[in-house]
Amino acid sequence: MTEYNTRQREALLRFFENNGDRHFTAAQIENELAMMGEKLGKATVYRRLDRLVEEGMVRRFVADDGKVCCYQYAGGESCKNHFHLKCTKCGDLLHVECDYLDEMQHHIFEHHGFTVETEKITICGVCEKCKS
Amino acid sequence: MTEYNTRQREALLRFFENNGDRHFTAAQIENELAMMGEKLGKATVYRRLDRLVEEGMVRRFVADDGKVCCYQYAGGESCKNHFHLKCTKCGDLLHVECDYLDEMQHHIFEHHGFTVETEKITICGVCEKCKS
DNA sequence: CTAGTTGCAAAGAGTTTGCATGGCG
DNA sequence: CGCCATGCAAACTCTTTGCAACTAG
């Protein structure tokens, strides 16, 4: 059960480390890597992704439409404070850093005895661009 | 664009009203209805479900494994002005009346230029009961 | 050399779509 | 009668699996 150090594994790791602020679908990862000259087979992407999630290096969550899995680097603590604002018009998923999240979480716990899983919050609405 | 009153539509509505505390996958709904003698085609189930979600009558979630969509009654008109807190352990959907919602909506609009559709907010976490 | 890895293509699961038929108003 | 809704099956999308070829240690 030793972990081999392959080109594909390295490519994925480097990709996540350099994009800790964004999240991607498996297909996006495959494409972006291909454009950087690192071609990996679909199966390999999925298999490695599964493993990275198990190891806790990467976090998996589901887009609001429930159709695709998204992956995001979680190696650092960078991912603690963010909203997901999903525009129901254009489909954009805005990724917003904001301290207000803590406040909200705190309120809900204090007043409603509910422990919010901050990383899973997705708020639907209409973004600025689409407001015309 | 008038909404017709069909046997299938009625069956789905009644099903949700009688099971407001539970959540189901599309396939489960199809099966349970079939066992009650109400056979609906797969496509019809999905189409009606989509509509009910749009109307805010029903909420769509993603199951724990991240692979299937789940649907749960969210109670039509009475559910406009409050939080929905979804427990990811037991699946319960808590309906919480709270002015804090307005505050949050306001903050997000002011600071992030995003118009929240309050009635669609669902916050995931762990409820008091499951916190042991 | 041996065991873990990869890539391809085929298989699966869940959901959507095209189109002819059926049924509400 | 007109128009929306339904059902079926085929099409799609995302993900997983089987298997032979490959490669790190």
Q: Average pLDDT of A47-73? A: 81
Nearest one of A39, B112, B130 to A29, comparing CA atoms: A39
Tell whether A61 and A101 lie within a shared domain: no
Asked if residue A132 is part of any domain, the answer here is no
Contact A115 B98 (CB under 8 A): no
Asked if residue A106 is part of any domain, the answer here is yes
Tell whether A67 and A96 lie within a shared domain: no
Task: Sort out which chain B residues have CB atoms less than 8 A from A100's CB and list them.
Answer: 104, 107-108, 111
CA distances for B65 relative to A42, A113, A114, B91, B94, angstroms: 20, 25, 22, 13, 21
Crossing angle for the helix pair B42-55 and B7-17, to the nearest 10 degrees: 60
| pLDDT tens track for A78-131 | 445 666 777 666 656 677 777 887 888 888 888 888 888 766 666 777 778 777
Half-sphere exposure of A111 (CA within 13 A, CB side): 14
- Expressed as residue numbers, the domain containing A9 is 3-73
Query: How many Å apart are B45 CA and C13 C1'?
Result: 17
Instruction: Please check the confidence at residue A77 and state whether its pLDDT lies above 60.
Output: no
pTM comes to 0.72
For chain B, what is the radius of gyration of the CA atoms? 16
Contact A111 B98 (CB under 8 A): yes
Asked if residue B27 is part of any domain, the answer here is yes
Name the residue with higher pLDDT: B111 or A76.
B111
Q: How far is A76 from chain B (nearest CA, A)?
A: 22
Contact B125 A107 (CB under 8 A): no
Look at phi and psi of residue B3 and say left if phi exceeds 0, alpha if psi is from -120 to 50, else beta.
beta
Query: How many Å apart are A45 CA and D22 C1'?
Result: 17
- B98 close to A (CB below 8 A): yes
| pLDDT tens track for B70-107 | 888 887 555 556 677 877 777 677 777 777 778 888 88
CATH number of the structural domain spanning residue B107: 3.30.1490.190
Lowest mean pLDDT among A35-49, A68-82, A112-126, B24-38: A68-82
Residues 45-74/B with CB within 7 Å of nucleic chain D are 47-48
Tell whether A52 and A100 lie within a shared domain: no
Which of B60, B112, B123 shows the shortest C-beta gap to A121?
Answer: B123
One-character DSSP codes across A33-74: HHHTT----HHHHHHHHHHHHHHTSEEEEE-TTSS-EEEEE-
Indicate the residue among A73, A97, A119 that finishes a domain: A73
- B108 close to A (CB below 8 A): yes
